[in-house]
Amino acid sequence: MDAPFVYVVRFWLHPDGAAAILHWLDSKHMAEVVAQPGFRSLRRVRLDQDSEDGWQAYMMIYGLESREALQRYFDSPAPQRYAQERKPFEQHLRLGRDRFFHRLTVRTMQTLDVLGISGSLREKSYNTALLREAARLAPAGMSIEIASIRDVPLYDADLEACGFPAGALQLCERVARADALLIATPEYNFSIPGVLKNAIDWLSRPPHDARLKGKPVAIVGAGGRLGSARAQYHLRQVCGCLSMLPVPRPEIFIASAWEKFDDGRLTDQAAARQVEELLAALAEWTRLLQRAAHA
Ligand SMILES: Cc1cc2nc3c(=O)[nH]c(=O)nc-3n(C[C@H](O)[C@H](O)[C@H](O)COP(=O)(O)O)c2cc1C
């Protein structure tokens, strides 16, 4: 399921006596939320916003298929029952602290739109399969679409002078719209395949266009003995020329790809975990750069 929206519940815990009560809220209310249709995963994040008097800030993150899923949840019996239970709960809290509910906030955040580009046109490409698996493993709040570079013609300055051909233009527009890129590259003769370099050459035109400048990009690759490592380093070099910003780590070199995929699925659990780690790093990297751009 795609999760184009995330639902964030911010809450505070106190390390002294309130912990048991708040655990009740965790396990009950939070479990009810995640059981809702249209809600996906759940992650608890410790925030760097503790209050002076010892309350520790957290947020719970849920992936949502649509805004309607959130509305359906609010209209369902669970939050209404929760509201009814809130009064005695507040009375109970008042014995100790009563600020918890004042601080409970709900908001939706914009999803991260990631565009996947494979450097292989092959139907049974491991690299394209890797992108499909990444889309499946994407964390809440990230959606990954895959763009084909099959219709991008060979770069020719005369062709460019007559106006961008449709295939190149379409790719440029999709890249411009994306918050970040995920490029999966095979290794051809110790470097990146010509089709990928050709697509990047179109994306780099005209030179003053800002569509690649500062664009966050995660690089992965599947292939032979070195898992496309040499190609990935060449790709990082090209990114540097274009002022793109590759996620520094983790690096993912899926070596002996034929042993790690079965019928297009990534069956190697260690590799799947690495992909999840890279996507989490991409999300963090992209949000960091977005914050810096708006600071
Ligand atoms: C022209 C060509 C050159 C290649 N050169 C290398 C190479 O230098 N190093 C390597 O590990 N594999 C090399 N390979 C093997 C490919 O990287 C491997 O077949 C890979 O799975 C292709 O990616 P795909 O499965 O996404 O299509 C080469 C393959 C081709 C067709």
Final residue in a domain of this structure, among 43, 76, 110: 110
Final residue in a domain of this structure, among 92, 110, 128: 110
pLDDT in tens, 147-165: 999 999 999 999 999 999 9
Cβ–ligand 1 distance for 188 under 6 Å, the answer yes
pLDDT of residue 98: 32
Give me the number of domains the chain comprises.
2
* Nearest atom (ligand 1) to Cα of 127: 26
Q: Take atom 22 of ligand 1 and give the residue whose Cα is closest.
A: 186
- Cα angle vertex 147, ends 141, 148, to 5°? 160
Sign of the alpha-carbon dihedral angle for 157, 187, 177, 241: negative
Same domain, 9 and 66: yes
Residue of 273 and 105 predicted with greater confidence: 273
Same domain, 189 and 227: yes
Between CA 51 and CA 14 the distance in angstroms is 10
Between CA 17 and CA 47 the distance in angstroms is 21
pLDDT in tens, 19-41: 333 333 444 555 566 566 676 65
pLDDT of residue 209: 81
Q: Which of 45-59, 91-105, 265-279, 280-294 has the lowest mean pLDDT?
A: 91-105
Cβ–ligand 1 distance for 232 under 6 Å, the answer no
pLDDT of residue 210: 80
Mean pLDDT of 82-104: 39
Cβ–ligand 1 distance for 125 under 6 Å, the answer yes
pLDDT of residue 187: 98
Cβ–ligand 1 distance for 258 under 6 Å, the answer no
Cβ–ligand 1 distance for 269 under 6 Å, the answer no
Chain-centroid distance of CA 129 in Å reads 17
Cβ–ligand 1 distance for 11 under 6 Å, the answer no
Confidence label for 49 from pLDDT (cuts 50, 70 and 90) = low
pLDDT of residue 14: 58
Residue of 203 and 69 predicted with greater confidence: 203
Same domain, 152 and 191: yes
Mean pLDDT of 49-69: 66
* Nearest atom (ligand 1) to Cα of 130: 26
Same domain, 248 and 118: yes
Q: Are 219 and 236 in contact (CB under 8 A)?
A: yes
Mean pLDDT of 281-289: 94
Same domain, 174 and 281: yes
Same domain, 90 and 184: no
Cα 183 to averaged position of ligand 1 atoms, centre (Å): 16
Same domain, 265 and 225: yes
Of 125, 188, 226, 233, the one to substitute when testing ligand 1's pocket (max ligand atoms within 8 A of C-beta) is 188
Whether 100 shows a pLDDT value over 60: the answer reads no
Same domain, 177 and 258: yes
Same domain, 93 and 157: no
Same domain, 165 and 261: yes
Same domain, 127 and 270: yes
Cβ–ligand 1 distance for 187 under 6 Å, the answer yes
Could you tell me the pTM of the whole model?
Answer: 0.70
Same domain, 140 and 284: yes
Cβ–ligand 1 distance for 223 under 6 Å, the answer yes
pLDDT in tens, 220-261: 999 999 999 999 999 999 999 999 999 999 999 999 999 999
Q: Which domain holds residue 48?
A: 5-110
* Nearest atom (ligand 1) to Cα of 190: 8
Contacts for 285-293: CB closer than 8 Å, 24+ residues apart: 285/180, 285/216, 285/218, 285/245, 285/247, 286/112, 286/179, 286/180, 286/216, 287/112, 289/214, 289/216, 289/245, 290/179, 293/214
Report the mean per-residue pLDDT for the chain. 80
Final residue in a domain of this structure, among 85, 110, 135: 110
